[in-house]
Structure 1
Amino acid sequence: MPIERLGFSVAAARATPDGWHLTGEPEYHPRHRPRPGERFDRVRNDGDRELREVDLVVTECSAGHVLVTGAGGDFLVRHQDRYLVVTGERTVPSVPLPQPGAAGLAAILGAEPEPVEVDWPSLEQALRAELPADYKEFVGTFGAASIDDHVSVCEPGRLLEHHAWVRECLAIDEDDRPDWFAPGDRVISWGSTENGDILGWLVSPGAAPPAWPVVFKEEGPLWQRFPAGFTTTMAGLLTGDLQSWYLSSRLGGDHSYR
């Protein structure tokens, strides 16, 4: 069964008669918030380095605190001057991802139609690839804007310039490419974050555009590959059907496209 990660960023910790009260905030999307009975088994720092194994059982969790019992909370109390995150995992049912298409993604975002004229044939000729239909329908109907003020969908008129910048970035970071990045694969980017991270499609030789998965490349060395294309992936991240170690916490509030 699929694994979903749990996390809580600890700002302060204090002992209680039954365990520990941790102040801070859950990581990831609100749907991924730890539930009573689930366990944290590790503590990591801001470099994602594991510091210690723990066995902390959640008894209560909100947007600002979590109550836990078990073993290891004393470590959090002693080191609350450091940035610490308690982490765990849970299994979730394996279900097909909803495929909302352009209209469904727009409904989640509350996007209003802002039709734009795009010379798709010329753009695709320059990119040497036919772009996925759901992306073209979404951008052609609702324009290019920012998703939740964090993920910017590139204007089609600037896509070639953006793509050239991405190719240069990926050439510099070639040693950071993950094992699933096979010979002949390339990335065609459709957007970025406010931090300079890259989002795009992983294009493999012979793969049809509907089969191109979305990939995320942070400004540092880390990559993440999602199991679907543009509208399905972005809708899944916004609703919590998909989890991203980086994007979920930034796409879990009120949604917008502006």
Structure 2
Amino acid sequence: MQRITHANGVVTYAFESFADLPVSVHVSTRHGGVSPAPWNTLNFSIFRGDTPDRVRQNQQLLATALRIDPGAIVRCRQTHGTRVAKVDSADAGQWQEDCDALITDAPHLPLMLLFADCVPLVLYDPAHHAVGICHAGWRGTVNGAAAATLWAMQAAYDTNPADVCAGIGPSIGPASYQVGPEVADLVYAKLPGAAELLSFPQGPAENPYFDLWQANVNQLVEAGVPAAQIEVSRIDTAQTTSDFFSHRAEQGRCGLFGMVAWLPQNGRRCAAGTK
């Protein structure tokens, strides 16, 4: 991913493979906002102790940096599930209830989800100029949130998975994400190739480490997205708390960063095989 410092001091990351595509996708960092520690500084959650006023200021700062209307951003109440909300221009500025993915083909409609270790995913369909973003923690990953987002785009826009360009953003990495037996059991039960997704660097007697990145890549590939069209940031939020919030590394005392995606008026097909 490319690190971008905007004129007002806000710092975001963008997928390099999306640079020539007619879709805008940014992942915010913790830089450029007004919140004090432990939410320093660009926090977008009002449910972790920060004040609504500071969060509103942070939203305005991000919107200014990205040149979008803060009043048009579509958000949702995230529940670590697999429900997908299809939205259009009538939903501008609205909250969607109880979902973890948003899809649209409406131009100039920013979609936003929040994170602090869970996996941010973006799916872009160049043939139908549609975009989806998804929040996938361990629950969403083992229950197929990424695939559910793709299937929702197929149903809504006739998306062909072979056309899709995908990005997996900053999130907790396989070297940091140790899980308990209750999670490991679900990985073995629900995910093909589970033995490759769980590692035991401290020995088989210790709890394993779960590779959320590869699990979501596998899910998209199994659904028909070419592996060469999936960019994985490989930025581990638990090891880069200077840039990103990490619920695990900061023991829950942190803010949330965001993934924002929106479409311009017109689109064109991306070249297959981008990385």
Asked which structure has the greater RCO (Cα within 8 Å, sep 6+), the reply is: 2
Rg comparison, structure with higher value: 1
- TM-score normalized by the length of structure 1: 0.24
Q: TM-score scaled by structure 2? A: 0.23
Question: Which structure: greater strand fraction?
Answer: 1
